[in-house]
């Protein structure tokens, strides 16, 4: 089984308890924004600032995600570029606001976790997130893979 298929199958297994997908997917997006924002708010070494003022732990995480997407599937990685650029753009806008990025990110994460709890029905979301935090960035990839399958685009 290809690396992409293995990860997507593992993520698909987590979808069995989702009873309200209309709540689930925005919640995943809020958790992604919150997680990247939390990393964005961490202090950066002077070497990062010397390279680029836009380089921080959040953008480093997004770059690492893109590299990993390319490792598991080149077509999916290319399809994910607009999403990752969009997340970086939203985080950049959040950072430009007068509110602290840290607190905004905590609020986004909490809102996402609350939405995840409601989306999963009676199944508690907290243990799910603890066990599958590494799968958070695979949610959008899983959706993109579904679109690729429907359009018969190989990946």
Task: Give the mean pLDDT of 28-33.
Answer: 91
Task: Give yes or no for a contact between 77 and 69, defined as CB atoms under 8 angstroms apart.
Answer: yes
* 12/25 Cα distance (integer angstroms): 13
pLDDT in tens, 35-51: 999 999 999 998 888 88
Distances (CA, A) of 9 to 22, 28, 111: 21, 17, 27
Instruction: For the chain, give every domain's residue range.
Output: 3-10+37-150
Q: pLDDT band at residue 123, thresholds of 50, 70 and 90?
A: low
Task: Give the whole-angstrom CA distance, residue 56 versus residue 33.
Answer: 15
- CA separation, residue 47 to residues 44, 63, 88, 101, 148 (Å): 8, 17, 20, 21, 39
The DSSP secondary structure of 62-82, one letter per residue, reads: HHHHHHHHHHH-HHHHHHHHH
User: What's the pTM?
Assistant: 0.82
Per residue in 64-110, pLDDT (tens digit) is 999 989 998 899 999 999 999 999 999 999 999 999 999 999 999 99
Q: What angle do CA 64, 70, 72 make, to 5 degrees?
A: 105
């Amino acid at each position: 089984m290809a690396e992409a298929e293995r990860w997507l199958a593992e993520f698909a297994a987590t979808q069995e308890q989702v009873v309200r997908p209309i709540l689930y997917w925005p919640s995943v997006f809020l958790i992604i924004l919150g997680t990247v924002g939390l990393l964005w708010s961490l202090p950066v070494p002077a070497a990062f600032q010397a390279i680029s003022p836009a380089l921080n732990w959040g953008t480093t995480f997004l770059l690492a995600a893109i590299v990993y997407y390319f490792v598991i599937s080149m077509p999916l990685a290319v399809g994910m570029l607009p999403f990752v650029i969009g997340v970086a753009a939203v985080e950049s806008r959040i950072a430009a606001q007068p509110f602290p990025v840290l607190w905004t990110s905590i609020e986004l994460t909490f809102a996402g976790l609350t939405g995840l709890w409601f989306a999963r029905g009676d199944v508690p979301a907290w243990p799910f997130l603890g066990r599958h935090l590494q799968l958070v960035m695979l949610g959008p990839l899983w959706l993109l893979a579904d679109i690729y399958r429907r359009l018969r685009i190989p990946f």
